[in-house]
């Protein structure tokens, strides 16, 4: 090779004192015949990461006082590098002895390849599912991720996560993971960067793979070597809200760059919902809100039967499901069981509400008692009614002979009346009264008139 330096290994660190030394030593053993350099860019670590790097010989280090993100730090490393090939290697990686010689030689022989990544395994030697290549993300899949839907329907992500991937087969792929990414320098020279600086963290690896494909080069997976990927050790210390905000921000940036507005707008709309769900989960508010929604529903669902409370029932179901989605991977076993119970309770409440509404459409009434008395010049009729409805009837009407003048129609439990209106007959006489939203079971309707009533009807209103 004409270039004095074959390979530049660039590693971005943030509080990686426990993993970094192992990685740096493995890189040395991984390069037997290569001219190589190691560059570490530290993003304002608060632990002893920088101290460990400075104890290692022949390692260049850039110490940032501010964490400006993964993309920015990698680009800083590229600026001081001199290798013909660039290896972006996470601090929680471990490469095998002599393996970097092999994969650099592999890339040198394939001029049509811009990026290659090897077989990444876990510490037990098994193919690491979280570090496999992935297909390019689609909008609906990413919206589902934001809303935690794959926790309930895991197979919906199978295509995106390449569940059919054969780790023993060399193949061209849409994207490889940024934890081990070997790149030709000409890619950086054409683009002006290794990773688009608009990405703080996440999606920068998918983006560069798409850029490489756009310039006519291939993105390849090759099991020619194996490396151990311990996956995201730094991020385990980060708060879930920080992760959600940065993950969804980068997701939105990616789709705004590569897709039309009518696609990325769905990410923009779903993002605040995802952040809110994480906030409620962190504050333990989601459980409290959902619990009271269910409690209110159970209380009112057996008292009222109309569209408003059917809607409340539906929201209770939705709230329970959201609570379950958020809690499934974070809460204790008891809380998960409780979330399932809440879902079933709200579903039962909704079904009972709808069923009783269906049953009540043909509700019949019967007079179980009639008392007639005389008060001065008035006849007072007290009708005691009973309905065969399952629960309450939203609208109820009592009317009398159209030509019969009636002085007053009332109901004994006035506190249950939500709305009433007079029924005026075509001839101008008072024909009765319509009552809305009250319980018609075992109620007493009082009619006062100077005439003898010889005709009436009582029925639920449609």
**pLDDT tens for residues 39-87?**
999 999 999 999 999 998 889 999 999 999 999 999 999 999 999 999 9
Instruction: State the angle between helix axes of 307-327 and 333-359 in degrees (0 to 180), rounded to the nearest 10.
Output: 160
Name the pLDDT band for 209 (thresholds 50, 70, 90).
very high
- pLDDT at position 394: 40
Cα(398)–Cα(417) distance, rounded to whole angstroms? 14
In order of 188, 291, 323, 339, the CA distances from 288 in angstroms are 51, 5, 10, 11
Write b or e for each residue in 215-236: b if 16 or more Cβ atoms lie within 10 A of its Cβ, otherwise e.
eebebbbbebbebbbbbeebee
Q: What is the pLDDT of residues 364-401, one digit of tens each?
A: 556 666 777 777 776 676 767 665 544 444 444 555 54
Task: Indicate the average pLDDT of the chain.
Answer: 79
Average pLDDT over residues 276-300: 64
Most confident listed range (13-22, 311-320, 448-457): 13-22
Q: Both ends of the chain: CA-CA distance in Å?
A: 88
Nearest alpha-carbon partner for 339 in 147, 152, 141, 157 = 152
Residue 329 scores a pLDDT above 90? no
pLDDT at 258: 97
pLDDT grade for 420, boundaries at 50, 70 and 90: very low
Would you state the pLDDT for residue 435?
46
The answer to whether 177 touches 202, Cβ cutoff 8 Å, is: no
Q: What's the rounded Cα separation, in Å, for the pair 397 and 458?
A: 6
pLDDT confidence of residue 461? 44
Task: Report the pLDDT value the prediction gives residue 31, as an integer from 0 to 100.
Answer: 95
Structure confidence at residue 153 (pLDDT): 81
**Beta strand pairing status for 7-13 and 85-89?**
parallel
The two structure tokens encoding residue 413: 């439990």
């Amino acid at each position: 090779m004409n270039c004095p330096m074959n390979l530049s290994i660039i590693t971005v660190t943030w509080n990686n004192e426990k993993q970094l030394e192992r990685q740096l030593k493995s890189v040395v053993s991984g390069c037997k015949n290569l001219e190589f350099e190691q560059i570490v860019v530290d993003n304002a670590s608060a632990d002893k990461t920088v101290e460990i790097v400075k104890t290692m010989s022949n390692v260049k280090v850039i110490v940032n006082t501010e964490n400006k993100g993964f993309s920015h730090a990698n680009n800083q490393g590229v600026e001081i590098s001199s290798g013909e090939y660039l290896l972006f290697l996470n601090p929680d990686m471990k490469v095998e002895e002599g393996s970097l010689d092999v994969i650099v030689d592999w890339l040198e022989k394939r001029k049509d390849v811009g990026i290659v990544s090897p077989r990444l395994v876990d510490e037990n030697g098994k193919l690491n599912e979280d570090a496999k290549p992935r297909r390019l993300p689609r909008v609906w899949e990413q919206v589902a991720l934001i809303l935690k839907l794959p926790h309930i329907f895991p197979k919906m992500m199978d295509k995106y996560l390449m569940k059919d991937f054969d780790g023993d087969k060399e193949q061209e792929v849409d994207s490889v993971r940024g934890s081990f990414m070997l790149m030709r320098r000409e890619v950086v020279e054409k683009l002006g960067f290794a990773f688009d600086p608009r990405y703080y963290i996440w999606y920068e690896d998918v983006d560069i793979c798409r850029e490489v494909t756009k310039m006519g080069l291939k993105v390849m997976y090759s099991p020619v070597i194996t490396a151990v990927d311990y996956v995201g050790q730094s991020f385990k210390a980060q708060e879930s809200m920080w992760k959600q905000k940065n993950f969804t921000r980068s997701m939105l940036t990616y789709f705004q760059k590569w897709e039309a507005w009518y696609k990325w707008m769905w990410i923009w709309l779903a993002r605040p919902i995802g952040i809110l769900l994480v906030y409620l989960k962190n504050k333990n508010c989601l459980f409290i809100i959902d619990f009271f929604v269910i409690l209110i529903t159970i209380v009112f669902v057996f008292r009222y039967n109309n569209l408003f409370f059917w809607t409340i029932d539906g929201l209770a179901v939705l709230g329970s499901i959201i609570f379950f989605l958020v809690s499934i991977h974070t809460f204790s076993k008891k809380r998960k069981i409780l979330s399932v119970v809440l879902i079933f309770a709200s579903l039962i409440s909704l079904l009972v509400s709808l069923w009783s509404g269906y049953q009540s459409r043909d509700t019949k009434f019967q007079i179980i008692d009639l008392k007639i008395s005389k008060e001065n010049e008035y006849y007072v009729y007290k009708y005691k009614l009973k309905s065969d409805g399952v629960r309450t009837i939203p609208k109820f009407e009592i009317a009398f002979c159209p030509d019969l003048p009636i002085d007053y129609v009332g109901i004994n439990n006035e506190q249950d009346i939500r709305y009433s209106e007079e029924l005026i007959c075509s001839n101008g006489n008072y024909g009765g009264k319509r009552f809305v939203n009250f319980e018609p079971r075992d109620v007493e309707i009082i009619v006062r008139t100077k005439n003898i009533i010889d005709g009436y009807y009582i029925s639920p209103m449609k």
